Amino acid sequence: MQAPTPAALDAFWMPFTANRKFKRDPRFVTGAQGMHYTMSDGSQVLDGIAGLWCVNAGHRHPAISAALKQQIDTLDYASNFQLGHPAAFTLAERLADWAPADLNRVFFTNSGSESVDTALKIALAWHRARGDAGRYRLIGRARAYHGVGFGGISVAGIAKHRNAFGPLLNGVDHLPHTHDPKRNAFSRGEPLHGVEHADALEAICAVHDPATIAAVIVEPIAGSTGVLPPPVGYLTRLREICDRHGILLIFDEVITGFGRLGARFAADRFGVVPDLMATAKGLTNGAIPMGAVFVREAIHAGFMQGSEAGVEFAHGYTYSGHPLACAAALATLQVHQEEDLAGQCAAIAPYFEDVLHALRGEPAVADVRNLGLLGAVELSPFPGRPGVRAQAVERRCLEQGLLVRALGETIAVSPPLVVSRDQLAGLAETLRAALRHVDAAGPDAASP
Ligand SMILES: Cc1ncc(COP(=O)(O)O)c(C=O)c1O
């Protein structure tokens, strides 16, 4: 495919991108296979972040591609409003089997943002349906990312994603984040210190009256704000406090779902069952947009009351359970089963941990964090130049054939779960060389 013309570059308002900077020096992906992207100059780049934390089975998995091709020639679109197509039901059943405990009812969306907003709405509407409309508060957490819907940015904890958009949802409060580098730097897996951060929920209850709180939402591991694994015992304690006060617990598993932590879901990995689970990304291996909210049976049952003629939950998307997305998700689940992607992840995770932690001592490395195949190397910024070092490292890695992601001062790494030991070793060496190169070149060379 031809490179975009200047007019085409101007026309596309790119998401979450420094548009003008990108368009001065654009980089294009033209193909992908397995662990690699092909760039427009023909070079190969190792995908160290699985697309955007989504391509868990590797790019263009033949079974997923084949399922999509077959589906488009059979049924392109059918609505699931007062109608239905079989694949959506089959997929829901398979996902229910796949999910922990009784998270057996599945509501389809098209993205992580929609899954989050859907989960928040289910929580609010469930309390109302059982006659407890006084529970309207939603509790999020500092340094959380829950997508870009108004619900998601309200409960998330990133000021620059919120401050352009006014007062957002009413009745939202936030737990503190759990990042504690003084006590936990260079932790392998779950950090030892910080379970007490969960007790902040009791403090919030004391301020607001727990009888007004509908739900708490957390990412089991905060991803986009720098990969922050939960302290040992933290999620269990959150669950206990929610149970004590009749508050629903929502896990945002948009990144952690579908094998990334070496288990099907973070809920399995940590042994904590939420009431609702928001997912997307790995559900279709990134091949086509889809999200799903998993709902516990008792919550779903709360809606299935009253007249059978009425719509029980006034919510849904034109593309909820789109036939193509269902085909891709069914094939993805099959791949998970046949190739045991979560098991592959669990098996290679200790090696991933070792190669990442071996970067300790390289220039400006302030912390290394990891769990499953989610990892992060946090850097000390160049004085007075926030984010510049991490961006320069990201750029240098790309020049050297490796895609990683700069998130503030942190370099995130989350390769497809099919990554090999050699590829992980190569990834770490490219990152090491980039850290040294950027440090030697200094902040002026690194500036955009
Ligand atoms: C934890 C979490 N929730 C929600 C989202 C939003 O997903 P989407 O971009 O598909 O709307 C993301 C995206 O990275 C995420 O990491």
With respect to residue 360, please indicate whether it lies within any of the assigned structural domains. Answer: yes
Whether residue 2 is predicted with pLDDT greater than 90 in this model: the reply is: no
d(CA 389, CA 385): 8
pLDDT at 444: 83
CA of 156 to the centre of ligand 1 (A): 11
Same-domain check for residues 242 and 217: yes
Same-domain check for residues 159 and 287: yes
pLDDT at 447: 66
Whether residue 445 is predicted with pLDDT greater than 90 in this model: the reply is: no
CA of 49 to the centre of ligand 1 (A): 14
Beta bridge partners of 215: 138, 248
Same-domain check for residues 33 and 70: no
Ramachandran quadrant class, 222 (left: phi over 0; alpha: psi -120 to 50; beta: rest): beta
With respect to residue 164, please indicate whether it lies within any of the assigned structural domains. Answer: yes
- For the chain, what is the largest distance between any 2 Cα atoms, rounded to a whole number of angstroms? 71
User: Of the residues 310, 339, 368, which one is the last residue of a structural domain?
Assistant: 339
Whether residue 314 is predicted with pLDDT greater than 80 in this model: the reply is: yes
Whether residue 306 is predicted with pLDDT greater than 90 in this model: the reply is: no
How much is the average pLDDT of 34-40? 97
Same-domain check for residues 81 and 183: yes
Same-domain check for residues 47 and 158: no
CA of 113 to the centre of ligand 1 (A): 6
More confident residue, 444 or 256: 256
Write down the H helix ranges in 172-280: 181-184, 200-208, 234-245, 266-270
Same-domain check for residues 230 and 364: no
- From the CB of 286, is ligand 1 less than 6 Å away? no
Same-domain check for residues 75 and 54: no
- From the CB of 253, is ligand 1 less than 6 Å away? no
The edge-to-edge listing of strands for the beta sheet with 291-295 is 105-109, 291-295, 276-279, 248-252, 213-218, 137-141, 172-175
Same-domain check for residues 236 and 335: yes
Same-domain check for residues 366 and 421: yes
Please, which residues have CB within 8 angstroms of residue 316's CB and are 6 or more apart in sequence? 80, 81
- Domain of residue 328, CATH code: 3.40.640.10
With respect to residue 92, please indicate whether it lies within any of the assigned structural domains. Answer: yes
Task: With cut-offs at 50, 70 and 90, classify the pLDDT of residue 146.
Answer: very high
The residue contributing the CA closest to ligand 1 atom 8 is 112
pLDDT at 318: 98
Using CB atoms within 10 Å of the CB of residue 52, give its burial: 0 to 12 exposed, 13 to 18 middle, 19+ buried.
Answer: middle
Give the pLDDT confidence of 347-361 residue by residue, as tens digits.
Answer: 999 999 999 999 999
CA of 358 to the centre of ligand 1 (A): 30
User: Of the residues 295, 311, 339, which one is the last residue of a structural domain?
Assistant: 339
Q: Are strands 36-39 and 402-403 parallel, antiparallel or unpaired?
A: unpaired
Percent of the chain with pLDDT over 90: 97
- Domain of residue 38, CATH code: 3.90.1150.10
- Across the chain, mean pLDDT equals 97
How much is the average pLDDT of 62-77? 98
- From the CB of 146, is ligand 1 less than 6 Å away? yes
Task: With cut-offs at 50, 70 and 90, classify the pLDDT of residue 194.
Answer: very high
Q: Which of 24-28, 48-52, 296-300, 423-427 has the lowest mean pLDDT?
A: 24-28
Contact 210, 203 (CB under 8 A): no
With respect to residue 1, please indicate whether it lies within any of the assigned structural domains. Answer: no
- From the CB of 284, is ligand 1 less than 6 Å away? no
How much is the average pLDDT of 75-104? 97
Whether residue 167 is predicted with pLDDT greater than 90 in this model: the reply is: yes
Domain that holds residue 31: 6-60+340-446
Same-domain check for residues 408 and 283: no
- From the CB of 117, is ligand 1 less than 6 Å away? no
- From the CB of 224, is ligand 1 less than 6 Å away? yes
Beta bridge partners of 137: 213
* Count of domains forming the chain: 2
CA of 283 to the centre of ligand 1 (A): 12
Same-domain check for residues 333 and 361: no
User: Of the residues 339, 372, 394, which one is the last residue of a structural domain?
Assistant: 339
- From the CB of 251, is ligand 1 less than 6 Å away? no
Reading the block at residue 397, the tokens are 């890695």
Same-domain check for residues 188 and 251: yes
Task: With cut-offs at 50, 70 and 90, classify the pLDDT of residue 448.
Answer: low
How much is the average pLDDT of 4-14? 95
Shortest-distance atom of ligand 1 to CA 52: 14
